[in-house]
Amino acid sequence: MSDAGTESRRSFLTGGLVGAAAGILGAAGAGVFGAETRGSGGPAVHAGETVKWRLASSFPSSLDTIYGAAEVLRDRVAAMTGGRCGIKVCQQGELVQGLAVMDAVQSGSIQAGQTAGYYYIGKNPALAFDTCVPFGLTPRQQNAWLFEGGGLDAVRRLYADFDIVSFPCGNTGVQMGGWFRQPVETLADLKGLRMRIPGLGGHVMNALGVTVQVLAGGDIYPALERGAIDATEWVGPYDDEKLGFWQVAKHYYYPGWWEPGPSLSFLVNRGAWAALPAEYREVFTAASHEAASAMQTRYDEKNPAALQRLIGHGVELRPFSDAILGGAREAATAFMNDQATRDATYRTILEGWRKFRAASFKWFSTAELAYSHFAWR
């Protein structure tokens, strides 16, 4: 998948938080929704008043795992406010194009969006850390870094420059390496390849000789079908099967080294956020945690069966060679080091992130790695 003041980090949703938020709102007033909050701010909304927001997703509704997280947010916010807070969720292209969600939230033309931070590294390269970077953190490690390791604070400081407040909205799990028309076994096989791949993974592939394109989810299959691209990555078996890539490219590679634990985000216009009463902010925060949990667990449940179906369609499952993985890791390290020399903010985030990763890798490579090596082989 892949291109305000600091809010306090909050733990994942618990029953107590939901109950407390609902209780507060239940006592807040008996108003019925009417006035719409403006993305650029507008008058403050009181707890008994109606709030109507529009949320634009970078993803089509057919991708029910990713897009579905926005629907979980919508439904939980409505339930916890007794219907007084309404969020209209719109799929890619309905309000804005998939790669223009951040711009629309920043301008205030919509109050919220669902997207991936690394789509916008042209605005600030460090936004990649909001999603993931090559050879980075697994889903659990990414969540630990964001919620407990200072990552979310760092990311929100970046978004504050664009009048946006960010909320993690889910993780896809370790991704697959994508679909290729022809096998790629060596670094030489990558040269001249036309591939859809966003984020820092795209920069690394470019350094390895790949012609990189960035396309929104709904635009990938047509480009692959007509031969405009030779390869693409997306997420994993469940989504990839839905998008039909197996019909035009039979070589399915793993792992997606550029996205070992990508986190998606809800982006909220800072003015719209400031106009909400504190109770509604608590509800939105709690609902975003529940949406994030739903995305990850749904992928973990749906991917195994989808992979078996793809194999049944004649798909060839292939691991990336050590030569490609080694070359990609060298290129990724060089790229991030170069960015760090150019930008002090990027360097600060990278240094803290690397310290967290080193400690986390040491722990995960102990009990977890030993168990998985024995149990999964």
Question: What domains are defined for the chain?
Answer: 15-172+261-301 (3.40.190.170), 178-259+307-376 (3.40.190.10)
In one letter, which amino acid is 350?
Answer: L
Distance CA 59, CA 64 (A): 9
Tell me if 1 sits within 8 A of 118, measured CB to CB. no
| Buried-exposed string 192-208: b where 16+ CB fall within 10 A, e elsewhere | ebbbbbbbbbbbbbebb
Q: Residue 37 pairs with which residues in a beta bridge?
A: none
Angle, vertex CA 140, rays to CA 134 and CA 143, nearest 5: 85
Q: Is residue 232 classed as helix, strand or coil in its secondary structure?
A: strand
Nearest Cα residue to 127 out of 271, 270, 264: 264
Distance CA 171, CA 203 (A): 22
Angle, vertex CA 287, rays to CA 8 and CA 216, nearest 5: 95
Task: Name the phi and psi angles at 176, rounded to 5.
Answer: -80, 165
Tell me if 224 sits within 8 A of 244, measured CB to CB. no
In one letter, which amino acid is 319?
Answer: P
Residues in the chain: 377
The angle that helices 15-26 and 278-312 make with each other, rounded to 10 degrees, is: 140
Distance CA 324, CA 320 (A): 6
Supply the pLDDT for residue 193: 97
Instruction: Name the token pair of 297.
Output: 């667990």
Instruction: Name the token pair of 165.
Output: 């407040």
Distance CA 119, CA 92 (A): 14
* Cβ-Cβ contacts under 8 Å for 11 (sequence gap 6 or more): 147, 289
Strand order through the sheet with 194-196:
211-213, 194-196, 231-232, 178-180, 251-254, 316-319
Tell me if 180 sits within 8 A of 202, measured CB to CB. no
* Cβ-Cβ contacts under 8 Å for 146 (sequence gap 6 or more): 9, 152, 155, 168, 263
| pLDDT digits (tens), the chain, 377 positions | 544 333 433 333 333 333 333 333 333 332 323 334 444 555 666 656 789 999 999 999 999 999 999 999 999 999 999 999 999 999 999 999 999 999 999 999 999 999 999 999 999 999 999 999 999 999 999 999 999 999 999 999 999 999 999 999 999 999 999 999 999 999 999 999 999 998 899 999 999 999 999 888 788 999 999 999 999 999 999 999 999 999 999 999 999 999 999 999 999 999 999 999 999 999 999 999 999 999 999 999 999 999 999 999 999 999 999 999 999 999 999 999 999 999 999 999 999 999 999 999 999 999 999 999 999 98
